[in-house]
Amino acid sequence: MTVFLIAAALVLAASLALLARPWWRNRHQATESRRALNAAIYRDQILEIEHDRASGQLSETDFQDAQSELQRRLLDDATTTDATQTLPAHPKRTLFALLAVLPLAAVGLYLWLGNPAALEQAARGDFSQADIDKMVAGLAAKLESEPDNLQGWVMLARSYKAMHRLPEAERAFEKAMPLVEKDPQLLSDYADLIASKTGNLEGRPEQLIAQALALDPDHLQSLWLAGTAAFNRKDYAKAADHWERAVRQLPPDSEDAQMLANIIAEARQKAGSGAAVATGAKVVAAGTKAAAAGTGLAGRIELAAALTGQAALSDTVFIVARAVGGGPMPLAAKRARVADLPMDFTLDDADALMPGRSLSSAQSVQVEARISKSGDAKSMPGDFSGVSRPVKPGTKGMRLTIDKVVQ
């Protein structure tokens, strides 16, 4: 809203400056002596009758008469007034009226024809899901007629991803590929999106991550994803190599550096080296221990009434917590059955999937509850899901409704 008001004020000021230009001019430029003007006219007319006499069109007698008449008129004008006449000037009151009325008129027109409520809503960040859906739909419709608007497609892809509309997000990323393939962050985001959709980093996600690291070997998110992909395929030494390069970019005393050092120590141990990991100038001791009491998540999961009867009682329910912005790998997970719904749940560090990467180590997490018809941890079209808003570890009383069909 502040940016809009500043821009509007600048436009209004520029408009007023242009309109006020007549008052800036030197008034002497608008002043003309009537005597000087008459003299100029007289000279022109004398030249004209002299030309007519020379060409034979005017006799000498007629020339003398005409010259006398011109001299008489010039003398009459000179004796009538000796004052300097000025061209009409713009009175100052007109300027003051413009400066006062135009801003008021502009504000009045905006209040009448514009949408002030939208500015207030933007300032509060008070957008309903319907508002967001409408804005995203408007952007999508605009881009259909602007296929070369690569930045717009990236914005749409990220919007769809935030809305968990993964197939649409993937399509938007593909539309923006000429831009994506030149930017390591966009390549990494696209890889993370595909991995979120498929449940793993194999195939296309790894190819995109490799492209990102070719552009920037120290890109932090790409190094994290590359290490995760290597760890998942049990190439622990390679995973540790990627993560060690990543940890050197983090503040040595940060929680992220300590968490990553713990994961590297685990990878090195699995690889058989048992190497300790240096973070900057200090060695980070192995392992942040399990979270202290009160850092777990707790709440209740329900199945939306509209989906009741569409899932078998024996279908598997996966309850997972992921770090916001931390990639597709869950921090913690549990299983249940549709027959258990509605149910109360808890997730804590005891449910961690990887040593050293605990729920309590994250600053913000999202919880997803997904009904898998196949029983596979990999998300599949036709599954049902519900995702919480971002919360901090330790949040209690969460309510999570499974109300969407995975596309």
Q: Is residue 284 predicted with pLDDT exceeding 90? A: no
| Mean pLDDT score, 344-369 | 81
Residue 358: band (very low, low, confident or very high) from pLDDT cuts 50, 70, 90: confident
pLDDT at 308 over 50: yes
User: Does position 289 have pLDDT exceeding 60, yes or no?
Assistant: no
- Nearest C-alpha neighbor of 344 from the set 369, 363, 361, 324: 369
pLDDT interval class at 292 (50, 70, 90): very low
* Contact present, 322 and 353 (Cβ < 8 Å): no
Q: Is the pLDDT of residue 103 over 80?
A: no
Q: What is the pLDDT of residue 39?
A: 66
∠ CA 249-181-256, nearest 5°, is 20
Cβ(122)–Cβ(1) below 8 Å: yes
Give whole-number Cα distances, 46 to 38, 50, 53, in Å. Answer: 12, 6, 11
SS3 call for 254: coil
Q: Which residue has the higher pLDDT, 99 or 48?
A: 48
Most confident of 46-55, 82-91, 102-111: 46-55
In sequence order, which residues have a C-beta less than 8 Å from that of residue 189 and are 6 or more positions away? Answer: 157, 158, 161, 173, 221
pLDDT at 399: 92
Among 369, 379, 366, CA closest to 321: 366
Contacts of 244 (CB under 8 A, 6+ apart): 264, 277
Q: Are strands 404-405 and 384-387 parallel, antiparallel or unpaired?
A: antiparallel
Query: What pTM does this model have?
Result: 0.44
C-alpha to C-alpha distance for 167 and 161, rounded to whole angstroms: 9
Q: Which residues contact 122 (CB under 8 A, 6 or more apart)?
A: 1
370 CB burial (10 A radius; 0-12, 13-18, 19+): buried
The mean pLDDT value of the chain amounts to 76
Residue/partner pairs of 273-276 with CB below 8 Å, 24 or more apart:
273/237, 273/240, 275/240
Q: Which residue spans within 224-295 are E strands per DSSP?
A: 278-279, 282-283
pLDDT at 109: 65
Give me the mean pLDDT over the 391-397 stretch. Answer: 90
Per the model's pLDDT, the better-predicted residue between 101 and 279 turns out to be 101
The pLDDT value recorded for residue 95 is 62
Could you report the per-residue pLDDT of 191-245, keeping only the tens digit for each?
988 887 777 888 899 999 999 999 999 998 899 899 988 988 889 899 899 988 9
Phi and psi angles of residue 400, each rounded to the nearest 5 degrees, phi first: -125, 120
CA pair distance 2, 20, nearest whole angstrom: 27
Per-residue pLDDT band for 252 (boundaries 50, 70, 90) equals confident
Report the C-alpha gap between 330 and 321 in whole angstroms: 6
pLDDT of 257 higher than 90: no
DSSP readout, 183-229?
-HHHHHHHHHHHHHHHSS-TTHHHHHHHHHHHH-TT-HHHHHHHHHH
Section 10-14 average pLDDT = 72
Buried b / exposed e along 239-272 (16+ C-beta atoms within 10 A): bbbbbbbbbbebebeeebbbbbbbbbbbbbebbe
pLDDT at position 279 is 36
Which tokens in the block code for residue 102? 């135009």
User: Residue 69, Cα to own-chain centre: how many angstroms?
Assistant: 80
Tell me the average pLDDT across 351-364.
Answer: 75
Alpha helices per DSSP H over 272-365:
none
Amino acid 14: pLDDT:
74
Residue, of 328 and 386, whose pLDDT is higher: 386
Q: Given this model, what pLDDT does residue 277 score?
A: 39
On the question of pLDDT at 380 being above 70, the answer is yes
Q: Identify the residue whose tokens are 């408009």.
A: 15
For 81-140, give the secondary structure using H, E and C: CCCCCECCCCCHHHHHHHHHHHHHHHHHHHHHHCCHHHHHHHHHCCCCHHHHHHHHHHHH
Which of the residue ranges 187-201, 227-241, 269-283, 289-303 would you say has the lowest mean pLDDT? 269-283
Compare 65 and 111 and report the one with higher pLDDT: 65
**What six digits make up the tokens of 305?**
């009434």
Q: Which residues contact 396 (CB under 8 A, 6 or more apart)?
A: 297, 298, 299
Cis peptide before 342 (omega within 30 of 0): yes
